[in-house]
Structures are given as structure tokens and as C-alpha cells.
Chain A
Amino acid sequence: MRPYAARVTNDVTSATPSASTGADPPDSPGDDGPRPSWLRRAALRVRDAAAGAWVITLLLLADLVTVLGAGAIWLTLGGDAAVVGVTAAALLAFAAAMLPLIGRRGPDGQPPLWPPFVLVVIPLAVLAVGLPAWGTWAFLDSRPVDVTHRVELDVAPPLVNGDTVHASLHTDDPKPRLTITFDIAPHDPAAPVCVPGTGLTVTSTAGAGKDQVRTGAPGTEFTFALGRGVTDIELSVLLDAEQGCEVDLSVASAHLDD
């Protein structure tokens, strides 16, 4: 049997003494032992470091904190409770299953190589998956939410001077600030131009930011502070127009953001 074939038959619970010391490079001239991969070297270091029971306890504790912490954050961000529970339980059960294996000794009296390493890999894997996912979520969550097409206007066109329109918006993704822009178009394009002379007074009529008043021409961005957790937003829009001016009101854009 070729030397390489002999090395690949080794089991995962033990390692050759030469590799464990690290003092004698396995690929040095005259050494027919395998060259350990970086993973194997890492596993060897963990096994050497985890010689005491207290280290294993610490590793278990780290697993517990990481898995439960990640699960709690996942739940807070809207994760499905069943999925979160099953995933966390599976990871913790897998970590617990390593304990009997760690207690065993190989024919050479050495503790097994991989079970202690698994206890390190579990929290690292959770962090490797969780941190980018949390970063992506944070980035997406920080962007304004476009709610333009979800704003409902109780409007019966055409609108004339003094008419008030109620605008309402329900969102399942509440944000503390609303930026909304209204557009006004002539109701009858054959009638004399009058839109440039129109103005709007927009008042928030519900929520923590109630009674905020903004005025401006059509196309102006009106910003309202809503407070935390407001899911139902209501505005009243008062039209100021010159005599005989008939217009149609619409929402040009509406965004919720932080």
C-alpha cells in the first residue's frame, strides 16, 4: 500500500503523534507521514487546548450563548418561531452529541481529534452565517420603504379651491418618518392653465406626529415625524387654488424611512 493510501484510512477520532506535536514537519525529507491540511492543524490545536474539562465546558457555554443569542435576534427580526426553534435545537443537540465522543480515548491513548473542534465550529458557523445575514438585513432595513402605491386618497375629482382630501396608509413595516409628495394635474387640459398657482396644506391627523402642518406647492416633499411603531398614518390635504381651477390630486411618491 502506498503511504498516502495508508494515511487516508485513519479515523477521525485520533491523529498520529508526529502530527500532533507539530515539531517535526510531516513532509520533511524522510517523513512518510501525511501533510496535515489547515483544518487538521486547527483541529489538533483545539484538541491540545481542550485538554481540561473546563475548556470543554466553556466551549459548550459559548455554543449555548451563540446559538440562543442568534435565535433570539432572528426571532426579533421576524423569524418564524418554529424554524428558529428547530434550528437552534438541532445545533445544540449536535453540540451535546459531541460530549460522549470527547470522553473516549483512541488506541494510542489520545483524545479524539474532531469532536472538540465541532464545539468550536458550531458558534463560528452561526456567526459566519448570522453576521452577514444581519448586516444585509440592517442595510435593507435602513433603506426607505416605497409606499407610493399604498397611499389611499378618498378623492372625487375634480378638486376645487378649499376641498380637503384624506390620505391614509397602513404599513406592516413601521418607520419613524414619512416623506410624501403630491402631484396636481389639470382636470380638463382644455381649460386655462392654473396648476402653477395651486398650493397644498398637508396635516397629519393620527399617530404620535398628529397635527403637524406642512404647506407648499405641488411637487414639494412633505416630511412628517411619525414616532415609533406607527402602522396607520392619516393625512388631510387641503387644496388652495384660484377661481375656477379644477384639478386632480395624486401621490407622486411616498417613502417611509428612519
Chain B
Amino acid sequence: MTANTHSPRRPYSLRSPGHRCARVAVAAALLFTVAACGWTADGADQETSLTGTVYIGGKTDQPGFNLHSEHTDRGFEPDLAAYLGKRIGFTPRWHDVVSAKREQELVEKSSTLVIGTYSITPRRDEQVDFVGPYFVTKQAFLVREDYDGIKTEKDVEDKVICTVEGSTAAIAALPGGATPHTESDYSTCVRKVQQGDVDAVFTDEALLYGYVEQQKNSATPVKVVPDVSFGNINRYGIALPEGRRGDCDKLRDALRRYITDEWASDVKAQLPALVAAYPGDWENRFRPEPQDVNTYSSCKE
């Protein structure tokens, strides 16, 4: 064996000029790719979906909040979406989605946003992101105007109560003995109340005042039972698919401004029965504080 055989091999130099150039090139290429994809170092998605035409899932059978008729969507939520679109730079386009499929709508990316009297809940927040609240409401009972079978909370015990599948009202703890009746939408529930098939509709009070307004000139007008309430306070949020931090930030900032600038005038225009029910107090009851948007939104400052 020769001496050369035993001589130590020259260690491989990581700092050789050729390799250094290659590493710099690879690093530059990676940086360029990451930048081109719109991802920042913290992983936040900066690419926006809120541009051009934005498909919004909503419930288009809810008078006051969103009612589709004669090819037009009217209500508080279309007003809100129009404001956000103008501020952020997109054109809202509505399509109908039932309560039980609102999460699915976003998870499957059929809609970019859902604005449909969609209460923020911890479980929903695990599947989608929320920006909100844009409306705060307790839950109440809607009955025929000539019906006086419910005057106190105790009176609910032996009644048939209509709620909507997938809504928070459907899981609210009604007094023992009350018979729940579930439909796919509130319009059907209201119709059943008017027909006498059920005693009352139970859902968010703000929502019920839309029906009060809509049905005030019908053969069987309806009313909200005053001072009888169960369940939680609901906070409506704008839902979007998880992980779109950039969009979430834009919506949060725009919504905060909306609550200060135009919320009250839109409620007056779209929910006059609600305003009339609580003269001088309706803003205290239903309007969120602008700082609540940071507290309850998935993206916080």
C-alpha cells in the first residue's frame, strides 16, 4: 500500500465557489417562487379573492335581511355587501344557500363569502373564518298577530315551535314539553304559523321583524312576542374560507367603518318594524360596537 493511499482525502468544501453560486441561485429561485405565489414569510395568504365578481352565498328568502324578487336582492345584507364591494373593490353576486349548507358552501369554494344571517359559533369557526359581528340579536318568538297563547316563557312549554335545520335556534334549549318542528327555511315556518300548523316560529329577533314588516298587510299579519326570549345572543358574521388572512383583514377594516358610517341608515331602511318596536333603543340592542369586530373576528389586529 502506498503512502498516498493513506493520505487523508481533502475534505469536501461547502464553501467552494461553485457550490456557493449554486446555493445562491437555488435560494434566489425559491424566494422568487414564494414571492410570485403571493405568500409571505409567515405563511399568510396575500392573494385576494375579493376582486371582480365575488360570489356570495346568502339566504334570499329573508325579508329585511335578503329577499330576492324580480331579479333583485334587497335587504340589509345586500346593502352591507354593496358597501364592502365599493370599499374593497368587488362586485357582489348573490346565490341562494340554505342554513345547513353554509359551511359546505365555503369549504367546497362554491362561494367566496357567505353573508346570510350566519351566527358566529366556535364549531363553525373551526371550519370557516368569520369577520363580524355586523348584527347582534337575541332569539324570540313570532306568532300570529291575533294569537296570545305565549305571554311568558312558561307558556312555551306545551307549544309547537318551528325552527330551521342547521340554525342556532334549532339547538337552543326550549322549555321541556315544547314540541320542536324543523323546516328548511323560515318562510315555510312563517307560512305554517299563519296557517295555524305551528304555534310560533323561534329564531333571531331581528330576523323575525323582517317577516313582521313583510306580512303586515297580509290576511294574517304576525308579531314578535315581546319580552319572551330563550337561548343565546346571536352575532352575525361574514364567513369566508379559512386561511385567507388578507381578505379577512380587508373585510374587518371595512366592516368596522360600515358600522360607524352606514349601519344605522341601512337598518332604518330595511328593517323598519325593528326600529318601530324599540324606539330610541334599537341601536343599543342590535348594533355591535366597532371594537367588537376585532374581538369576534377570526383575524385580529
Contact = CB atoms under 8 A, between A and B. Distances in A.
A195 B120 CA distance: 12
B172 A186 contact: no
B72 interface: no
A245 interface: yes
Band of interface residues on B: 20 to 34
Interface residues of A, number: 14
Contact of B233 (A188, A190, A192, A195): A192
Interface stretch (B40-48, B211-219, B224-232): B224-232
A193 B171 contact: no
Contact of A244 (B123, B231, B296): B231
B270 interface: no
A218 B108 CA distance: 35
Nearest to B170: A190
Contacts of A195: 122
A195 B123 CA distance: 13
Contacts of A191: 121, 168, 171-172, 231-232
B95 to A, nearest CB: 25
B159 interface: no
Interface string A183-222: 0001011111111100000000000000000000000000
Given A193-B119, A242-B233, 19 more contacts: A188-B171, A189-B122, A190-B121, A190-B123, A190-B168, A190-B171, A191-B168, A192-B120, A192-B235, A193-B120, A193-B125, A193-B235, A193-B296, A194-B233, A196-B296, A242-B232, A244-B139, A244-B233, A245-B232
Interface of A: 186, 188-196, 242-245
30 contacts: A189-B123, A189-B126, A190-B121, A190-B122, A190-B168, A191-B121, A191-B168, A191-B171, A191-B172, A191-B231, A192-B119, A192-B121, A192-B168, A192-B231, A192-B232, A192-B234, A193-B119, A193-B121, A193-B125, A193-B235, A193-B296, A194-B232, A194-B233, A242-B233, A243-B229, A243-B233, A244-B232, A244-B233, A245-B232, A245-B233
